[in-house]
Amino acid sequence: MLSAREQFFNSDGGTASIGLGIEVGDSSTSTAGRGVYNATTEPMTNARSWRNGQTNTSTTATPAATATSTPISAQVAAVKQTPLEPVEEGEEEVHVDMDALSNLPSRDPVDIEFKELSLTVKLGFNRGEKEILHNVCGKFPGSQLIAIMGPSGAGKSTLLDALSGFKTTGVVGSILLNGRRRDLPSFRRLSCYITQDDRLQPLLTVSENMHIAADLKLGENVSYEEKETRIEDILLLLGLYDHDQTLTMRLSGGQKKRLSIAMELINNPTVMFLDEPTTGLDSSSCTKVLELLKRLTSQGRTIICTIHQPTAKLFQIFDQVYVLSAGNCVYQGGTQKLVPFLQSVELPCPMYHNPADYIIELACGEYGFDKIDTLKSATENGSCLTWFNNPGAVLRSEALMRKYPIPKRTKNVSLENTSFRNQCSVLLRRGYIKARRDTTMTHMRIIVNIMVAVLYGAMYDHAGREGSRVLDNYNLLFAILMHHSMTTMMLTVLTFPIEMTILIKEHFNRWYSLKAFYFAMTVIDLPITLLSSFIFSVIIYLWSYQPMEWVRFWMFFAISLLIVFVGQSFGLIIGAWFDVVNGTFLAPVLTIPMMMFAGFGVTLKDLPSYLKWGSHISHLRYGLEGFIGAIYGLNRGVLECNEAPYCHYRYPKKFLEEITMSGDQFWKDLIALCAITFLLRLGAYIVLKAKIKSIR
């Protein structure tokens, strides 16, 4: 059976019935002749009533048909009075404590105004630029829930990014906050940005996530009791109190969305930007999330969301709507004023048609592109305030500036709310909880190291002391290098992009500085790196019968550890800049030249002179040389020869000569590996910083 909308568009030019008791005319360009709302008709608020089949099947709009349906005003009142949708069968009941809201301090409203705002992006080398927003204007009054709507690709997220300050490159035009030019660092202190995808730590419980957020956002000066009270209040308010011990990864989509909001509410932002908070949620969860946001505006918060195509019921929850079409504004004003606006431009909304759907259809150009121009000129690309709920009450810039002055920026004060020391210690705590629970990163690393060591041990049993198996031992040392280098590098390449998405959100919302993140990430990984490398080294060293001298073992372990660090740092650089797919391709490809320059297949002496430089940058070369120094250097004595009648490399010196290594380069190799690790770590930090900058 065709939906009402499909029937509407399937009409073949003449008068067609849409099965709702409405007659429609030529559906392609004109609305003339249709049943339409007039300025005095209230918009339909509960689209479900007709979508669920409570429709009149007669083919003409009759007074009787409308009289039998619930009066629209009654539906509006019902929607407005019901704080939460009744819980349907099988649906989780959300316990919301409205009193908790009163414990959150109120805020002076922040009014956002933008004028002649354009945003241009670069399309890449030699491919020019593209303007996404075209001189749009607008005004988002304080204490309101505002929807940015529009067809896909209209520029909703881009506008949100520009207004929140998430994107600064290519933005031209002015953005005013309570009449004053936006000072981005000050504004970031007042606002938060909640991304469309829930970038949450999956292995932490709701309570742990909230405590980490509180410790990072409120700092040491707020007492533990105060933080507890605030967390409790917010969890009660958002209906998450009963789930505080649930792991985040086990939460439903709606709960995750609410947790994202809860975590940002901790420091009570005045302006909240949410990118598609309803995407992926069922209609009941959508309503709950939007109603919660609506409640939050009552304390002075301005909440701006992008939304695709809300149902009539969701649309009604918003105070104001800003509709974009291909980077231009086609409507700005109250949700209740949309129908009268459409009528004023002679594009009346068909009766029983969700006005939100209709304006999107117009914005898509479904009724002709000339209609988009009409709408754009009627709204003056966002400058027109006529359709605001109460245009007379919208304060002018000068009045706003006096009434609600935005706190000025204090020079040389960092953006984060807490000290570097506090950020590091909280991030280390979070890292510790994650490491304890993360079976992939922690347990598997240990298990894989044990398994590979056992496998190598079985294959190269006795190779370390036997004169006839020196070449086998040489192969083993190179295989160990490859294991240390590749496993850690690939693990980082695969896991860091996920961490990166969380970092981008939290860093933008001023939870911590990049330095603190980087420091904590480096430190938190040390114990597991040390442990897994140590276990590996002990097993393989003993099983392959390497020389039983402490000094040689520590030399062997030191080189192993440094190779792990180099591999990790290399993985970090790749993981910070590239996505998983490209990173997985690039990491092994970049390792191959390092292998070639290691002096393993082709001795260093035989490398062509024009390729010699390669051996100086290859960490595998220093690793191999260091291993050889540890195992065959330090004037090692004559090897046993039990497994063959003739042992060509019984004298280690002979072997060293053959592979053109002196065996006394250990300290040089150690220093070179330390230097490479340091440079790569520094490089990874710079790449990470550049990546974050490039996104913005």
Ligand X SMILES: Nc1ncnc2c1ncn2[C@@H]1O[C@H](COP(=O)(O)OP(=O)(O)OP(=O)(O)O)[C@@H](O)[C@H]1O
Site for ligand X in 220-239 (CB under 6 A): none
Binding status of residue 696 toward ligand X by CB under 6 A: no
At closest approach, how far in Å is the CB of 155 from ligand X? 4
The length of the chain, given as a count of residues = 696
Q: Among residues 161 and 669, whose Cβ is nearest to ligand X? A: 161
Q: How far apart are CA 650 and CA 114, in angstroms?
A: 81
Q: What is the torsion angle, in degrees rounded to the nearest 10, for the CA atoms of residue 160, residue 163, residue 164 and residue 167?
A: 80
User: Which of 395, 407, 378, 343 lies closest to 144 in space, CA to CA?
Assistant: 395
Q: Among residues 153 and 407, whose Cβ is nearest to ligand X? A: 153
Site for ligand X in 114-153 (CB under 6 A): 121, 123, 130, 132, 150, 152-153
At closest approach, how far in Å is the CB of 157 from ligand X? 3
Q: Among residues 294 and 308, whose Cβ is nearest to ligand X? A: 308
Site for ligand X in 46-65 (CB under 6 A): none
Q: Among residues 123 and 451, whose Cβ is nearest to ligand X? A: 123
Q: Among residues 162 and 204, whose Cβ is nearest to ligand X? A: 162
At closest approach, how far in Å is the CB of 141 from ligand X? 23
Question: By three-state DSSP, how is residue 684 classified?
Answer: helix
At closest approach, how far in Å is the CB of 184 from ligand X? 20
CB count in 10 Å sphere of residue 223: 10
Q: Residue 330: phi, psi to the nearest 5?
A: -115, -10
Q: Among residues 132 and 329, whose Cβ is nearest to ligand X? A: 132
Cβ atoms 152, 229 nearer than 8 A: no
User: Which of 118, 111, 471, 108 lies closest to 300 in space, CA to CA?
Assistant: 108
At closest approach, how far in Å is the CB of 504 from ligand X? 15
Chain-centroid distance of CA 23 in Å reads 47
At closest approach, how far in Å is the CB of 201 from ligand X? 25
- Beta-bridge partner residues of 177: 112, 180
| The token pair that represents 69 in the structure block | 């349906």
Q: Among residues 27 and 328, whose Cβ is nearest to ligand X? A: 328
Site for ligand X in 148-187 (CB under 6 A): 150, 152-158
Q: Among residues 156 and 483, whose Cβ is nearest to ligand X? A: 156
At closest approach, how far in Å is the CB of 65 from ligand X? 35
At closest approach, how far in Å is the CB of 28 from ligand X? 25
Q: Which amino acid does the sequence have at 452?
A: V
Each residue 305-324 as x (binds ligand X by CB under 6 A) or -, in order, gives: -x-x----------------
At closest approach, how far in Å is the CB of 315 from ligand X? 16
Q: Among residues 456 and 578, whose Cβ is nearest to ligand X? A: 578
Cβ atoms 633, 668 nearer than 8 A: no
Tokens 């011990």 belong to 245
Q: How far apart are CA 348 and CA 586, in angstroms?
A: 56
Site for ligand X in 63-122 (CB under 6 A): 121
Alpha-carbon distances of 391 from 27, 113, 145, 227, 241, rounded to whole Å? 34, 14, 16, 40, 40
Q: How many chain residues touch ligand X (CB under 6 A)?
A: 14
| The token pair that represents 98 in the structure block | 């409205």
Q: Which residues bind ligand X (CB under 6 A)?
A: 121, 123, 130, 132, 150, 152-158, 306, 308
